[in-house]
Amino acid sequence: MNNVEGKLFIEPERYEFTAASIHQFELARRDFFKILGAGIAVFAVAKDAPAAQETAPGHRSFHNEDLPKDISAWLHVGEDGSVTGFTGKAEIGQNIRTELAQTIADELRVPFESVRMVMSDTALTPFDAGTFGSRTTPTMTPQLRRVAAAARDILVEAAAKEWNVAPTGLVAANAKVTDPASGRSLKYAELARGKTLAQNLPAEDPITPAIDWTIAGKAIPKVDGRAFVTGRHQYTTDLQPAGMLYGKVLRPPSFGATLTSFRQNETKAMPGVFVVRDGDFVGAAAPTEREAQEALDAVKAEWKEVTQISNKELFAYFKQNGAAKTEDRFRKQKGSIEEGLANAAHRLDATYSVAYIAHAPLEPRAAVAQWTDGKLTVWTGTQRPFANRDELAAAFRLPESSVRVIVPDTGSAYGGKHTSDAAMEAARLARAAGRPVKVVWTREEEFTWAYFRPAGVIEIKSGIASDGALTAWEFHNYHSGASGIETPYVVANQRTEYHQVPLILRSGSYRGLAATANHFARETHMDALASTAKMNSIDFRMKNLADTRMRAVLEAAAKSLGWPRKKTREGQGFGIACGAEKGSYVATCAEVSVDRGSGAVRVVKLVEAFECGAIVNPDGLRNQVVGAMIQGLGGALFEAIEFENGRIKNPRFSSYRVPRFRDVPEIEAVLLDRKDIPSAGAGETPIMAVAPAIGNAIFDAAGVRLNNLPMVPNGLRLA
């Protein structure tokens, strides 16, 4: 077995994971109808499937956002008129199950309630690279729309044939096809009856423009909401297949430690308890979680540890170990920095840093694994079910067809559930025990053995003319990542560079990736430049912005806060920041209150304007935007992983502070609905501008520039 927890490797999404599928449609169409019953099925098969292979982590193309190119979605209309949409995307709290069902209902012209989504089950749904990168809305909703439009055409043609008329005059609406000339109509259910008609998606059907949406664009509540408020919904952690054992894994004392000796004494005598050693992996499975833990407690294991970098040395290490030669794709240059700096009326250089932080999804990483006749089924909360399947197949030397991964709607992820760790552990233990095994990570394991948002250092050199126009912009990011690294401001002379550094802690995707770090540095720096130029923060930005969508969110946020606001009390401050990433635009305003005596900083109000094209579900979007703002506040003010020599020092909620009710300010989200622009994703970008807006407000209140995230883990230290 791969000792996944011992190895440090970087998550692909950090460099925009975009590998196209090499997989073919596995489910024979005959089987498809066996499962769903007769009816009409449409498969989205893109033309010109490239034979792109998945490349090794770290060597993926940076800006290629191609999709899996073969079958990407399918749809079934049953004999009872029920509609089922299939997608490999996972529901992880972002409410995409509702949004996708809305999309299908809208395009197929059926009531929302008649649509059911089957998601993220490698045996039933099309290959999907994963649920990340804010890709579901911009890529999956148009595909589902196209299959729905095709299904609608098939139904219309079936009706035309039935009545022996031309299909052109017929109207599809409210789950039936009507002939306006004669007034007769046939329900979809009637048209699907007795048919086993499967069709690949024909040439791209025109899809309904946002302006004509009737079900999409509405604030439809989360499907199955009742199952969540009654506790009936079963997350992975809640599953208990018959005969299931509970699994536990013996963790090394520090990262990278290797097992040098292993003795198993009393554990042999425990009835019904299985202890497994496989390489550096040691785990136990038992009828109760407690017995599994007791079995591990009885194991005598010795580990060889290795010396590792600690918090204190981190930023110096990043600077010293940044790759001497950056890959071309991580380096952008335009004009001459030297010239731009020479022509500047004012220069400003500064260094920024961000700490490692943890996702801390409330449902820990978990998996239930079951072997039947040499085939493996795993239920696990992951954002990448197909990648998990492939990793399991590789680890257990099975064909992919012998592994099935199913993702129950999951207790959040935020980019943190890409890997197959818990799935591997459960599968290994289940194979040894010959019974289903569930592994649920403890909170401490979550905070230690998962992966983190990478820390980083950012250096900026800049110059402005006397009128406030940028003349030079040089931006270096060490280690944290390249997302959102390019400035949206107009500047003739610029250089941006992302320097890869060997990993210290296991690192990977986190909501917004490095865009949060890069926006923190850039927008803090822009504010400092505005002060240098003695200009209002908004006027200074507007002076250097051409992008009309960015200007619109900036104006909307400022208007909503009432910028420029007069200070009405001691310690009050206002700040603003903006940015664009993954096709959406954000501007955030913060009001803070700083107690100069105690150093306490309180965020009083956050206002955010967000624009992601045509809004598919304003209610779900508002939840995501407000949620991102609150999550962003944690990383801005106090969240940080502390580590020393391969050990995490604060692996609990009692020592790693996350935002709680008292931290939550008054919040306003202003959603700009641009029906003329294709919908972009919204799960990530709303987090980016929170930290710099708060930091800029702290400067306004106290005159102190805070260049390191988190900014005030122990309050503000005033000189």
Residue numbers at the binding site for another protein (CB under 8 A): 92-95, 221-222, 225-226, 228-235, 237-238, 240, 246, 288-290, 360-364, 409-412, 414, 440, 442-443, 619, 623-624, 626-631, 652-654, 658-662, 664, 667
Closer Cβ to another protein, 199 or 650, answer by number: 650
CB of 659 to another protein, least distance (A): 7
CB of 364 to another protein, least distance (A): 7
CB of 233 to another protein, least distance (A): 7
Reported residue count of the chain is 719
Within 8 A by CB and 6+ apart from 30, the residues are none
Closer Cβ to another protein, 220 or 501, answer by number: 220
CB of 31 to another protein, least distance (A): 32
Closer Cβ to another protein, 490 or 664, answer by number: 664
Backbone angles phi, psi at 525, to 5 degrees: -65, -40
Closer Cβ to another protein, 413 or 521, answer by number: 413
Closer Cβ to another protein, 256 or 634, answer by number: 634
Residue 154 CB neighbour total at 10 angstroms: 20
CB of 641 to another protein, least distance (A): 16
CB of 161 to another protein, least distance (A): 44
**Residue 672 burial (10 A CB sphere; 0-12, 13-18, 19+):** middle
Closer Cβ to another protein, 605 or 674, answer by number: 605
CB of 550 to another protein, least distance (A): 24
Give CA separation, 377 vs 281, 286, 397, 543, in Å.
21, 19, 15, 57
Closer Cβ to another protein, 484 or 659, answer by number: 659
Closer Cβ to another protein, 117 or 177, answer by number: 117
Closer Cβ to another protein, 50 or 225, answer by number: 225
CB 593 within 8 A of CB 653: no
CB 250 within 8 A of CB 283: yes
Q: What's the one-letter identity of residue 316?
A: A
Classify 422 as helix, strand or coil.
Answer: helix
CB of 484 to another protein, least distance (A): 20
Within 8 A by CB and 6+ apart from 219, the residues are 617, 618, 619, 620
Per-position DSSP letters for 596-624, written without gaps between them: TTT--EEEEEEEEEEE-SS-S-HHHHHHH
**Helices (H), strands (E): how many in the chain?**
16, 29
Q: How far apart are CA 125 and CA 333, in angstroms?
A: 43
Q: How far apart are CA 117 and CA 496, in angstroms?
A: 42
Closer Cβ to another protein, 39 or 130, answer by number: 130
Closer Cβ to another protein, 295 or 457, answer by number: 295
Closer Cβ to another protein, 481 or 659, answer by number: 659
CB of 623 to another protein, least distance (A): 5
CB of 657 to another protein, least distance (A): 10
CB of 466 to another protein, least distance (A): 43
Strand ranges for 235-344 from DSSP E: 245-249, 258-264, 274-278, 281-286, 299-304, 331-334
Summarize the chain as % helix, strand, coil (round to 5).
Answer: 30, 25, 45
DSSP state of 310: -
Within 8 A by CB and 6+ apart from 443, the residues are 364, 651, 652, 653
CB of 410 to another protein, least distance (A): 7
Closer Cβ to another protein, 92 or 282, answer by number: 92
CB 489 within 8 A of CB 551: no
**Starting at the edge strand that comes first in sequence, how are the strands of the sheet with 185-187 ordered?**
171-173, 176-178, 185-187
Q: How far apart are CA 638 and CA 14, in angstroms?
A: 23
Which one, of 558, 524, 529, lies nearest residue 544 by Cα? 529
CB of 631 to another protein, least distance (A): 5
DSSP state of 121: B
Tokens at 141, concatenated: 């909703």
